[in-house]
Amino acid sequence: MIDYTTLSLADMGTELDAIARETQSRFGTLDERQLNWRPAAASWSVAQCFDHLLNANRAMFEALDAAMDEARPRTVWQRLPVLPGVLGRIMIRSQMPEAKRKFTAPGKAEPASSAIDARIIERFVAHQREAAARVRALEERAASRIMVSPFVAVITYSVLDGCRLLVTHERRHFEQARRVTEEPDFPASRG
């Protein structure tokens, strides 16, 4: 089991690359019907899992960019010395793949409710390569800057923990998508 709270920038780059490879391998051959199949009305499809990740990651990278912009004024939450370290670890642990608690996706990270085109996997894999490159390009000193959660403005964590949270969250939803394909009624491949 990976301890996501201690991943280094290099480890995160490796994990992002691994998620990209595993996503392509596991879901890249699914057709649109399979990608959009849902085990229950309240459950997400494989496509929705990856659409959610793209939306959440977009918001996380916007928040990361804001934290790295030295010209931007820091919020009161970013200036509290202990809070970001504590909240970062709590947030990472809450999103670990083996965590049992379910969460409601924030509005800006919600997946599309209608059918998502089959290129979602291709878009996600391309995004992963970009995300891995961005994480690898971070310097340790810069990664200690404090960022504000793009979903709850009073939650802050280091950029490093924000990247750890992104990786952890991705692994959680990758596993969710995998479980969808293992449902007994999951549609078989055509042809």
What pLDDT shows up at residue 76?
Answer: 57
Class level of CATH domain 4-181: mainly alpha
CA dist., res. 38 & res. 46, Å (int): 8
Instruction: Find all residues with CB under 8 Å of 179, minimum gap 6, and list them.
Output: none
> What pLDDT was estimated at residue 21?
98
Q: Which token pair is 172? A: 């959680």
Instruction: Sketch the domain layout of the chain as residue ranges.
Output: 4-181
For residue 67, is pLDDT > 60?
yes
pLDDT band at 8 (very low <50, low <70, confident <90, very high): very high
What pTM does this model have? 0.89
At residue 61, the pLDDT reads 96
pLDDT value of position 82: 52
- Segment 140-167, tens digit of pLDDT: 778 888 888 898 877 888 899 999 999 9
**What per-residue confidence (pLDDT) applies to 153?**
77
Task: Give residue 79's pLDDT band: very low, low, confident or very high (50, 70, 90).
Answer: low
